[in-house]
Amino acid sequence: MALREIVHLPAPILRRKAKPVIKFDKTLQTVIDDMIETMREAPGVGLAAPQIDLPMQLAVVEYAEGEDEEEENEDREIKKKLYVLVNPEIVKVSEEKVNGVEGCLSIPGLVGEVERHKEIQVRALNRHGKPVKHKVEGWMARIFQHEIDHLNGVLFTDRAAKIWKPSEEDETPLD
């Protein structure tokens, strides 16, 4: 495994629609492992292939519901769940939307208030090419939508109602 360089705006790849993955070979497995390592090192909770300069429909997400309350529950270990999403597609969304603050590893120094669907259902392939379906809500739904946007050349700044430079007390970026 190796750390990959995260590209920043104005890198043109961040604005392009990524191509579907068709080969589930050793090279893809290496890319997935590198993306997981890069995401964790950044640190982020998600990373899309275009962010490491690869135009493929691939994203990784790792987060645990309740992670934000970690300080309050120090004795309880929070288990993070890792998702590998190949060729993901949002197939169902809730009517209810919620606002939240997002940041991005490819746009350092900025955060924004973004409205997202509260719940979504995603169809994708796992790292071995097997179909998977994920029904996620809350913060996890926000992360999935953010990463899938990356695969379509859309950035959180395109959807933000307002954008600002965060103070040191503000939360870390989504990806």
Which residues are designated catalytic?
147
What's the chain's length in residues?
175
Instruction: Return d(Cα 50, Cα 47) in angstroms, integer.
Output: 9
Instruction: Return d(Cα 88, Cα 74) in angstroms, integer.
Output: 34
> Residue 114 contacts by C-beta under 8 Å, 6 or more apart in sequence?
99, 100, 101, 102, 142, 146, 156, 159, 160, 161
Annotate 96-130 with b (16+ C-beta within 10 A) or e (fewer). Answer: eebebbbbbbbbeebbbebebbebbbbebbebeee
Instruction: Indicate if the alpha-carbon torsion angle 58, 62, 65, 67 is positive or negative.
Output: negative
Which structure tokens are listed for 167? 């103070």
Q: In sequence order, what are the beta bridge partners of 93?
A: 120
Which structure tokens are listed for 157? 């700044």
